[in-house]
Amino acid sequence: MTTTVAVRPLTITACGVVSPAGLGLDVLGGALRSGVEEHAAPVSGFEDVVDGYPPRPAWAVPDLRVAEHLGRKGLRHIDRFTLLGLIACKLALDEYGRPLTDAERAETGVVMATNTGSLVSMLEVGRDTLLQEKPYLVNPARFPNVVTNACTGQIAIRNSLTGVNVVMSGGQAAGLAAVRFARTTIGDGRSRRLLVGGIEELSEVAAWGWHKSGALRDDAAVGEGAAAFLVEDGETVAAEGRTGLAELLGCEVGYYGARDAEGRLDGLRSGIERALDRSGLSPGEVDVVAVGATGQLGVEEIEERALQEVLGRPVPTVRVAETLGELYSASVPLQIAAVLALWRAEPADHARVALVTSIGGDGNAGCLVVRECR
């Protein structure tokens, strides 16, 4: 008989969000309730190919005024992918309420979900390498952007954070892997606090990749965004008399086979059951579900079936991709942010519980239990 071990909570003490709705939780909550069209910068429409994008909706972060958030120095050769991550982390650190001391920065690390880093930067350097007549005509300033951890490195450098610095690659579920890594790192005492999140940039290449893959419904949008959460040990936060936005409880993620639909169904279903059990919660205590496979052909149905089999009842559902588009590496972080945004906009008299689920065509699947702080 397998006995599950109760999880030690992590507490989100600050949050930074950059999405097609704009910056912050408040505008994200508004977009989830009324639609993103009033906020986002549409890149392409349903009918015509615009600016090299395929004929499907695509949503970009609007009016990204980088200098207002990051200043003007040292950004000339930093790509858009990294800028999204830097701004999200800056917003989270600003929301913390006070600047971190030098000692605290030494104990603060960065864990971000990104499967490739900047795809645009990699392709630009790769193309120049093949097309330029001489190797030294490749722009050397672009090369640092092609490594997967370029963004996390910049986040650490610009904020003087010298704790662990990690990127997690796990397909659609990369954000869950980041939360699992964060729990292990904080639990082992390797960091006191972490910036945990995920980043995805919109590009013609990525949009065409989704379009040609046949993985999305014809009307499913693609998007971009980043979310970063300052995460600390929950018991430590409580002992110091502080509170936060939410607790991260049970988190399960695994690989169940890209071609095995029943295997993914069983994996997601058992993952949800374990995560709730380790959180000390029953299926009946789940107030809302934030799903991650919206618009993904052949995958969305697996996610919905697993939830129905475990929860056994209709539960209010947040479908982030319907509003922001397919976000890949940033999906789970923005699902978490969406739950926090809706909770902030609609206060309740009890600590609500959310289930964040993720499943992709690559065979990765998992879930996270989030409980509102009171």
Classify residue 298 as left (phi > 0), alpha (psi -120 to 50) or beta: left
C-alpha span between 277 and 358 (Å, rounded): 18
Q: What is the chain's mean pLDDT, rounded?
A: 92
Residue 221 confidence class, pLDDT cut points 50, 70, 90: very high
Torsion of CA 34, 13, 283, 178, to 10 degrees: 90
Residue 122 confidence class, pLDDT cut points 50, 70, 90: confident
The DSSP code sequence of 13-68 is EEEEEEETTEESHHHHHHHHHH-GGGTSEEEE-SSS--TT--SS-EEE-----HHH
Helix (H, G, I), strand (E, B) or coil at 271: helix
Terminal-to-terminal C-alpha distance of the chain? 35
- Residue 5 scores a pLDDT above 80: yes
Residues 282-310, mean pLDDT to the nearest whole number: 97
- Residue 49 scores a pLDDT above 70: no
Please tell me if the domain spanning 10-239 has the same topology as the one spanning 249-372: yes
80-116 pLDDT, tens digit per residue, is 999 999 999 999 999 998 999 999 999 999 999 999 8
Q: What percent of the chain has pLDDT over 70?
A: 94
- Residue 61 scores a pLDDT above 70: yes
Q: Cβ distance 141 to 77 under 8 Å? A: yes
Residues 8-26, mean pLDDT to the nearest whole number: 96
Hey, what CATH topology would domain 249-372 get?
Answer: Peroxisomal Thiolase; Chain A, domain 1 (3.40.47)
C-alpha span between 149 and 153 (Å, rounded): 6
Q: Cβ distance 180 to 69 under 8 Å? A: no
Residues 338-345, mean pLDDT to the nearest whole number: 97
Those residues whose C-beta lies under 8 Å from the C-beta of residue 353, and which sit 6 or more positions away, are: 281, 285, 286, 287, 288, 369, 370, 371, 372
Hey, what CATH topology would domain 10-239 get?
Answer: Peroxisomal Thiolase; Chain A, domain 1 (3.40.47)
C-alpha span between 369 and 21 (Å, rounded): 25
**Residue 45, pLDDT score:** 44
**Residue 43, pLDDT score:** 67
E strands, the chain, are: 10-19, 22-23, 41-44, 58-60, 108-113, 165-168, 193-200, 225-233, 246-255, 288-291, 317-319, 353-359, 364-372
- Whole-angstrom CA distances from 259 to 176, 224, 298 are 21, 27, 11
C-alpha span between 354 and 287 (Å, rounded): 6
E strands, 97-236, are: 108-113, 165-168, 193-200, 225-233
C-alpha span between 333 and 236 (Å, rounded): 23
Cβ neighbours around 48 below 10 Å, total: 8
Please give the single-letter amino acid code of residue 69: H
236-280 pLDDT, tens digit per residue, is 999 999 999 999 999 999 999 988 899 999 999 999 999 999 999
Burial degree of 105 (CB within 10 A; 0-12, 13-18, 19+) = middle
Residue 275 has, within 13 A of its CA and on its CB side, a CA count of 34
C-alpha span between 137 and 125 (Å, rounded): 11
- Residue 127 scores a pLDDT above 90: no
Tokens of 94: 């600003």
Decide the pairing of beta strands 165-168 and 108-113: parallel
Q: Please state the domain extents for the chain.
A: 10-239, 249-372
Residues 202-218, mean pLDDT to the nearest whole number: 93
Residue 48 confidence class, pLDDT cut points 50, 70, 90: very low
Those residues whose C-beta lies under 8 Å from the C-beta of residue 299, and which sit 6 or more positions away, are: 215, 264, 293, 359, 360, 361
Tokens of 223: 């998007």
